[in-house]
Structure 1
Amino acid sequence: MVFTDSMGSAHRAVDPSVHSGQAFSLSVCRTLQEWFKADDLCRITFVYVLSALRWDIHGDAHKYVTKLKVRTGRRKTDNSIDALRSRAVHSVLDLWSSTFQDPTYQGSEFLELQQPDGRPLQPSYLNGGPWLSTFGHSITEFARVCRCITGHAPIGAYYHCFKINEPHGCTCGAALQSRQHVLFCCRNRYSVHYPRFLGDIASL
């Protein structure tokens, strides 16, 4: 009998199908197969016991079953799904980070942002990435942020670049209303004349 407070783990231990701990499960199944062959009366019963009950015999059973050592081979397994997925993710992130340093990949107008410690902000898949996790609460806000970061915000420099018949100067008197000017120099950057997202980006 196997006493456990996690039937899911018990099920996975004897599940030979594809999953992250398949190598260990196959070793368990291989060991049990030999044991079952020895006698037709061999049976295993899993007993679910809530750990919150603090049952003494459950503690003894836990100590007993954790003494079981299942061999998985001479070498530590490194071909589980989790290990393969981790290697693939790190490989993609390394390639992404190195490619991201190329201005032709970023685009000439891509706004380089920094982390709090001063390092350049790098792309990541965690929590939606650094940009989406910050501005993803609003589709409208995120769309505006994208326009600013990629140099497509509706300001004077954009109108000048694409020859749009709109004022190129800033309301503060500057000859060109550039993104750099709006974010870091303009005295009126919190004015209603400027999209709110520019002030948000400046505060990063």
Structure 2
Amino acid sequence: MVFTDSMGSAHRAVDPSMHSGQAFSLSVCRALQEWFEVDDLCCITFIYVSSALWWDIHGEAHRYVTELKVRVGRRKTDNSIDTLRSQAVHSVLDSWSSTFKDPTYRGSEFLELQQPDGRPLQPLYLNGGPWLSCFGHSITEFARVCPCITGHTPIGAYYHRFKINEPHGCTCGAALQSRQHLLFRCHDRYSVHYPRFLGDIASFMKYNPTVFGFNRDPSGVR
């Protein structure tokens, strides 16, 4: 008899089908097969016991189970589904980070920012990555910060670069309304020091609700 407070784990331990811990399950099944072949009367009964009961015999069973070490095959394996998935993810992230350092890939106008520890901000897939996790709470705010960071924002420098028939100058009188000018030189807006972190951009967006947006409504982008 096997006393357990997790029937799901018990089922998974003897499930030879494809799943993340299949290699371990196959090793368990192989060990049990040899034991079952000894006598037709050999059987295993799984008994569920809630850990909240603090039953003495359950504690003994838990001790025996945790002492059981099942070897996965005859040598160390690294071909479980979880391991292969992890290797694939890290390979993609390494390639992504390496490629992202190339200005021709991310764009020559991409705004380079830093992590709190001073390292360059790199793309990640967890929680939408650093940019989306910081601004994803607001669609309108992200709609402004995205073109700001990529350099494809409706400002004078962009119009000048792509020869768009729109004013190139700034409302403050500057000859060219560039991203750098808007962020920390423009007298018509609440400027910040040269942005190094996402928090700097977030502060700027908060105090300047119309900048980098296509909608020029005085109350901000809607």
Q: TM-score, normalised by structure 1?
A: 0.89
Q: Secondary structure at the match of 2:86?
A: helix
Q: 1:193 to 1:80 in 2, by over 3 A?
A: closer
CA distance in 1, matches of 2:83, 2:28: 19
Q: Which runs of 5+ in 1 are unaligned?
A: 197-204
Give runs of aligned pairs for residues 153-172 of structure 1, distance below 5 A.
153-172=153-172
Structure 1 residue 195 displacement after superposition: 4.4
Pairwise CA distance, 1:26: 0.2
**CA offsets per residue over residues 16-35 of structure 1, 9 Å max, x none?**
01111111100000111111
C-alpha distance in 2, partners of 1:49/1:165?
75
Shift, 1:193, TM fit: 5.2
Q: Give, in angstroms, the shift of residue 99 of structure 1.
A: 0.7
1:54-203 pair list within 5 angstroms: 54-190=54-190, 194-195=211-212
Instruction: Name the structure 2 match of 1:202.
Output: none
Please say which of residues 173-182 and 142-151 is displaced more in the overlay: 142-151
Identity of aligned residues (%): 84
Q: How far apart are 1:141 and its partner, in Å?
A: 2.5
Are the counterparts in 1 of residues 112 and 121 from structure 2 also a CA contact under 8 Å? yes
**Number of matched residues?**
196
Question: Structure 1 CA distance, aligned partners of 2:152 and 2:11?
Answer: 54
What's the CA shift string for 1:58-95, capped at 9, x where partnerless? 10111122222222234322111111111111111111
Counterparts of 2:115 and 2:163, CA distance in 1: 34
Aligned partners of 1:81, 1:63: CA distance in 2, in Å? 29
User: Does the aligned pair in 1 maintain the 2:5–2:50 contact within 8 Å?
Assistant: yes
- Report the counterpart of residue 23 of structure 1 in structure 2: 23
Q: Give the SS at the match of 2:166.
A: coil
Question: 1:38 is paired with a residue of what secondary structure?
Answer: coil
Please state how far the C-alpha of 1:138 moved relative to its aligned partner.
2.7
Q: Which residue of 1 aligns with 2:33?
A: 33
Using the alignment, how far apart are the partners of 1:195 and 1:46 within structure 2? Answer: 63
Give the conservation status (yes or no) of the 8 Å contact 2:144–2:211.
Answer: no
For structure 2, list consecutive stretches of 5 or more residues without a partner in the other structure.
191-207, 214-222
What is the alpha-carbon distance in structure 1 between the residues aligned to residue 32 and residue 96 of structure 2?
45
Distance 1:192 1:117 in 2: 29
Deviating more after overlay: 73-82 vs 38-47 = 73-82
Deviant stretches of 4+, over 3 Å: 190-193
CA shift, 1:192, in A, is 5.9
Distance 1:53 1:187, change over 3 A: farther
Measured in 1, the distance between the counterparts of 2:22 and 2:168 equals 63
